[in-house]
Amino acid sequence: MAKRRVLPIIECTKLRKIFRTPKRMPGPLGALRSLVSRAYEERAAVDAVSFRLEPGELVGYIGPNGAGKSTTIKMLTGILVPTSGEVRVAGIVPWRQRKENGRNIGVVFGQRSQLYWDLPLIESFELLRAIYGIGRDQYRRNLDEFIEILQLGDFLRTPVRQLSLGQRMRGDFAAALLHGPRVVYLDEPTIGLDVVAKESIREFIARINSERGTTVILTTHDLADVERLCRRIILIDRGTLIYDGDIERIKTEYGQFRTLIVRFSEHVARPALEGAELVNTEDSSARFRFNRNLQRADLLVRQASERYSVEDVSLEEPDLESIIRRIYVEGYQSSSAENGA
Amino acid sequence: MRVRVAPYVEFAKKAFAREATYRMEVLTEIGSLVLRVYILRSLWTALYAQNAAPINLPLHGMITYATVAMLMSLILEVDGTRLIREKVREGTIATDLMKPISVPLYFFSDGIGQTLLHAVLVVPSLFCALLLVRIDVPSPATIAAFALSFVIGYGVNFFLNFLMNSIAFWTLETFAAQLIVRWASDLLSGQIIPLTLFPGIFGRIVFGLPFAAIYSTPLLIYVGVIPSSQWALSIALQAVWLVAFAAIASVVWRAASNRVIVQGG
């Protein structure tokens, strides 16, 4: 990675948020008791998380349910005060200057809409124009662009409550970006969408990021979103940051094992290759697992075609999903040095 | 810091448009009003036939009172801040807090927009009502005093609703509290029964409660029970309640938004 010269647009330093929740006592008597006297327990939703983003980065912020993703995003948007630690977005402390911060950011929640439910889509956009004080020209330009890319033309005058989920999401994206924010937080933006709609949303995110240089933090459970869009991911689990860096690096470290699939033109009883382990055989093909650091794929292919009559070969790279699942279970152990932030 | 007005004007406009989309509801509202005016007229006429007219309010004065109260309720029964309760429960208040706006001003302007739509309905409702009852029209000065008193009463009512709906920040559910306040205010505000009909010490207490500022003061000015010499005093008392409620509302709002910010909604 190049030396960091640019001022970070987002900077979190030892960010921590502790929630105090009433302790529930078991049983009906316990429920009565907790009405009168309450014991509290404290839980760190986010614990000493530090990271920084440069302008124009598109980062996947990943973690299982309850890992602290939303809590972090809430602190970045200024609606939640951190218990300790520091946070700055475009030079502003979000919770101190909530309104100023509001001008710099755009937010899309896949689960809830910020559009006016009863009114035609276009009226929500006009309302946002007034809220952000967007100039006529900029408004026109942005709106025209979004109508074209997101194909909003057909339902601009339809009340939002009558839109399909895919249409509503596209409307929400336009709404979040009309004022040209420098940072966009996307919380599960593709949840519940069909493959076509998912792809068009992903394309839009990529385009906004590359053409406008908008910094994007993407929170999602759909790792296909992340693989398609992000170079860098931040992994968080039980409130703590467990990985921050390139997706490729995590793949090389964790995904040493590739799979070679060989299809034979005749039946082979027990195929074997040196330097690879047979996983299974099915009809006339076999799957071999091998360590990419110890074994070259092309040599294995040559070996296979020397030994057997081979019709076809293909190679499977490790997928992010299985890697990340393993990290959640085993924890992250880096072989190389800590990622210098 | 300078407050930009444009967003709030837009909020009011959108609320107006949103209310207008429910056409059926609007028509039902006028219909039910006419029905209620008719019922009240019959009721008071029957009651007056049994008793001598109480406290210098003759039957036509009583019917005027009841009809004007009905028309006022078109505006005063709009719960302009119910959005608070809905947004807190659904969690969408978070997205509002992420915008460069003052959120209480947003609720206020949204409430004004809704109210204006219902205020427009007063005109056709009045014509419908006039088919059934005859109401007294007082002097222009009295109407002006009534109007001022009504506007202040609107403010008191608005903040009362605001406070009720803000309970949602703590309990999510506001039904019980609203039921109690609604019940008390129906009875004690003078909307249905003029407060002058309350007997003895009870009759004095109800005038000292904030509910009286909502319906009773403007209505008693309208029908002339409060003479012009006492207008200033009555309206001043209303204003005291308005200021007090506004102050409480601002304290509650601060606590509520802190709660959102600290607890995370």
Give tens-digit pLDDT for A14-63. 999 998 777 766 777 776 776 666 677 888 999 999 999 999 999 999 98
Tell me the average pLDDT across B100-120: 90
Chain B CB contacts of A130 under 8 Å are 6-7, 9-10
Chain B CB contacts of A99 under 8 Å are 99-102
Domain-wise residue ranges, chain B = 6-263
- Report pLDDT for A244: 93
Sign of CA dihedral B10, B12, B13, B15: positive
In this predicted model, what pLDDT tens digit does every residue of A138-194 receive, in sequence order? Answer: 999 999 999 999 999 999 999 999 999 999 999 999 999 999 999 999 999 998 899
First to last CA, chain A: 11
- Report pLDDT for B50: 82
CA B247 to chain centre: 18
Is the pLDDT higher at B9 or at A332? B9
Sign of CA dihedral B202, B203, B204, B208: positive
Sign of CA dihedral B248, B249, B254, B260: positive
In this predicted model, what pLDDT tens digit does every residue of A226-277 receive, in sequence order? Answer: 989 999 999 998 899 989 999 888 887 777 788 899 999 888 888 888 888 8
Tell me the average pLDDT across A63-68: 87
Split at pLDDT 50, 70, 90, the class of B261 is low
Least confident range from A15-29, A73-87, B151-165: namely A15-29
Tell me the average pLDDT across B76-105: 86
Asked if B95's CB is within 8 angstroms of A109's CB, the reply is: yes
**CB nearest to A132's CB, from B11, B100, B261:** B100
**CB-based contacts of B33: which residues, under 8 Å, 6+ apart?**
B70, B71, B74, B125, B128, B129
- Cα–Cα distance for residue pair A216/A231, rounded to 1 Å: 12
Tell whether the model's pLDDT for residue B117 goes beyond 80.
yes
Tell me how close the Cα of A321 comes to any Cα of chain B, in angstroms. Answer: 30
- Report pLDDT for B256: 85
**CB nearest to A107's CB, from B17, B90, B98:** B98
- Cα–Cα distance for residue pair A147/A16, rounded to 1 Å: 40
Mutate to test the interface with A, among B23, B99, B105, B261 (most CBs of A within 10 A): B99
Give me the interface pTM, i.e. the ipTM.
0.76
- Cα–Cα distance for residue pair B84/B97, rounded to 1 Å: 12
Residue in chain A nearest B259 by alpha carbon: A80
**CB nearest to B6's CB, from A79, A109, A130:** A130
**CB-based contacts of B147: which residues, under 8 Å, 6+ apart?**
none
Split at pLDDT 50, 70, 90, the class of B245 is very high
Chain A CB contacts of B264 under 8 Å are 17, 19, 71, 74, 79-80
Tell whether the model's pLDDT for residue A313 goes beyond 70.
yes
Asked if B90's CB is within 8 angstroms of A114's CB, the reply is: no
CA distances from A112 to A115, A165, B95 (A): 9, 11, 9
A97 CB near a chain B CB, below 8 Å? no
Split at pLDDT 50, 70, 90, the class of B262 is low
Instruction: Return the axis-axis angle of helices B103-132 and B59-76, rounded to nearest 10°.
Output: 150
Tell whether the model's pLDDT for residue A283 goes beyond 90.
no
First to last CA, chain B: 27
Mutate to test the interface with A, among B18, B90, B98 (most CBs of A within 10 A): B98
Asked if B98's CB is within 8 angstroms of A77's CB, the reply is: yes
Tell whether the model's pLDDT for residue A330 goes beyond 80.
no
**Tokens 């219902």 appear where?**
B118
- DSSP code, position A5: -
Interface of B to A at Cβ within 8 Å reads 4, 6-7, 9-11, 14, 17-18, 21, 90-92, 94-95, 97-102, 260-265
Mean pLDDT taken over chain A: 87
- Report pLDDT for A48: 92
